[in-house]
Chain A
């Protein structure tokens, strides 16, 4: 039996009911939104169930939507079922003022690196992460460069003419 998106959705709704929202399918990949408090439960369920078996964390990152009040930061999980070759994606939204999400490192070792990266660039605090500190940027950096309130250009330069560089 091959695993279909409809079946995954049906199982998720049976288990979590109304908690999961915004089910959609793009490029053949099922995606939905979960409450931030349920992220581990959803992942554990997808991992443990004999028919679902999403046991590989392909990617973990964040997106900043500055205009969504109290849900500015979205943490995105990409999961993969190796046996059935099925992908799945879900997001949890947290306010930028208190971006706290439970860590997935207990479930997937690979989340360690990706959560550090997500913290480095977006400032998402992964509760329970064993070593949550900057990984790619310099340790002295005082901001989270991929949040939209920070201009991409380096702000230490004074010799560039703003008009010519489109600022």
Chain B
């Protein structure tokens, strides 16, 4: 009798980076190996304040399954996380809180702004709402939509993965990065 279980035969493995291999050794650069490891185990910190957060819940749940990208481990403490996912309207009063969360994250850290409000204030063009989180912290990837569908959030997440995988080991020590941080008043 056939077993009532169907096995997933389409499992995709991460490709081996370019390098030299031979009997019992494989040599490649740190950049590639560390990038590979980082991009496939990003720990996200969901900073969800409104409806985009609901879309993110769908993204993280079984149907869209963020775990496929090695990110099922959400942490709600910034000290353990690599990726700050800002989803929803950020009021001006929330700005310093968001900034504090970002400051508590350890380098290397990335930020994704999900939805129109986090990107630009969205429809809330008013005195009480921060007009885009890039006024208080640097952002790596913007996901448009009001709210974006889970597919869009996943697309933004994969772009973050590309950035993480290709980032040079020296980027965070570079003059340019230091200048970017100084623009935001971060030492």
Tell me, yes or no, whether A160 is within 8 Å of chain B by CB: yes
Q: Is the CB of B126 within 8 A of A137?
A: no
B109 to chain A, nearest CB (A): 25
Tell me, yes or no, whether B92 is within 8 Å of chain A by CB: yes
Assess A157 versus B121: contact at CB under 8 Å? Given A138-B92, A138-B93.
yes
Residues of B within 8 A of A152 (CB): 125-127
Residues of chain B from 112 to 130 with CB closer than 8 A to chain A in the complex:
120-121, 125-129
Residues of chain A from 109 to 167 with CB closer than 8 A to chain B in the complex:
136-138, 141, 145, 150, 152-154, 156-157, 159-160, 165
Residues of B within 8 A of A165 (CB): 125
Assess A159 versus B127: contact at CB under 8 Å? Given A138-B92, A138-B93.
no
Tell me, yes or no, whether B59 is within 8 Å of chain A by CB: no
Tell me, yes or no, whether B89 is within 8 Å of chain A by CB: no
Q: Is the CB of A153 within 8 A of B126?
A: yes
A-B contact count (CB 8 A): 31
Tell me, yes or no, whether B131 is within 8 Å of chain A by CB: yes
Encode contact with A along B82-123: 1 for CB under 8 Å, 0 otherwise: 000000000011010000000000000000000000001100
In the docked arrangement, what's the CA distance between A138 and B95, Å? 10
Residues of B within 8 A of A159 (CB): 120
Assign chain A's interface to a size class: 10 to 19
Residue of A nearest to B127 (CB): A145
Residues of chain B from 123 to 167 with CB closer than 8 A to chain A in the complex:
125-129, 131, 135
In the docked arrangement, what's the CA distance between A160 and B132, Å? 12
Residues of B within 8 A of A160 (CB): 125
Q: Which of A136, A150, A153 contacts B125 (CB 8 A)?
A: A153
In the docked arrangement, what's the CA distance between A150 and B127, Å? 9
Q: Is the CB of A137 within 8 A of B128?
A: yes
Encode contact with B along A36-57: 1 for CB under 8 Å, 0 otherwise: 0000000000000000000000
Q: Is the CB of A137 within 8 A of B127?
A: yes
In the docked arrangement, what's the CA distance between A165 and B128, Å? 18
Residues of A within 8 A of B128 (CB): 136-137, 145
Residue of B nearest to A138 (CB): B92
Q: Is the CB of A154 within 8 A of B120?
A: no
Assess A154 versus B93: contact at CB under 8 Å? Given A159-B120, A160-B125.
no
**Chain B interface (Cβ within 8 Å of chain A)?**
92-93, 95, 120-121, 125-129, 131, 135
